[in-house]
Chains A and B, each alone.
Chain A
């Protein structure tokens, strides 16, 4: 341990106070969100800061789950779409990105340098710039308004390829050479020998891909217009003023938003360590 093992108590108190204040700032909005979903519209408007509904009203939740004559929230559909699409995209990315990353790191084939340069330059393209262009391509390929259109175009990405390549490059060549000497073919070397060693990278990629595709909004916005393809993100955005006319019924809106957050919150708390370490290694590798 270090030479200085003592910190004056007043400094520690300040530390805790600061941490507490910031924790309140970072978690406060969620608490207010939960409380508001149990308020009536007028209560929410008049006592927006209070964490105690007055009276406790389940109207918003009843509406969300379809127990009122007003249109409910097709939450089940949104959840299904989000899960399906996010899972497919994540699987696609993990599989395809690591294949491509390995090829760029370790296999010699014509055009390797050119392809790597292409990957690098694509990294520089801001995703938002691609919104309209992708819409155009989807339209031309008749993939608009379909699950394929939501999944295929982003089931491999330059960032993931680059990330996996960096991981693979750092695995000692000796490992592969040993496998080769043992008689393993290229696929066997990759699948059984190298891939397990790149596990941190794979986990990182999985977490990042899942988080990214689960929360993806702008791409799904331009890839579909039929409400049956709405995910938790697009469904919520369109619901927040579509079904409610131009009124501002916040308890319902916030309740629906809360529901969309719950799946990813659960995943986060369960896989917390992986989320955090994935974020860290992505930042240092990338």
Chain B
């Protein structure tokens, strides 16, 4: 059954090397589920003493166990679970207390991505776009647009130079189904179904990478 998963695209700054699953799982609260490795993805079990996925702690008692999906590629790593808060805590309280240098979220250039898709709509569709409208102050602060092909609407094309997109959904050309939602802070969410879906999300991230829409070289950025 399809399950919504949330998390982040992160990177290991300074490219000390390819990140290994052992680098990520140094904490005693993380266990690699070695028998579940599938189509390039690793799975880990994260043990937490506090509930992170809206569990009723009157009924369930600690420890709370969460499944973590992990895809590594060079210094980049995608960490997902059933709730964003699980991944937030996992990074801050577990992985980044031991890993040197710390993992950092990648910045996804969503505004540039939206402009690229509107200009060249031959690969993906926009299924949702969340924008800020910074020139209008308190009068008009943000706009959210949804549809099968938002970028094809003339209205959207006319006003897009007065907006800054920070989150969007990408859909398939073929059947207009949404593949993944992406945020400028590296946030990623999609419905985890099967290998094909996982590969499709990877392919989308490759599209961003090939178009220079993933910012990871923080040392350069922050000089």
- Tell whether A and B belong to one assembly: no
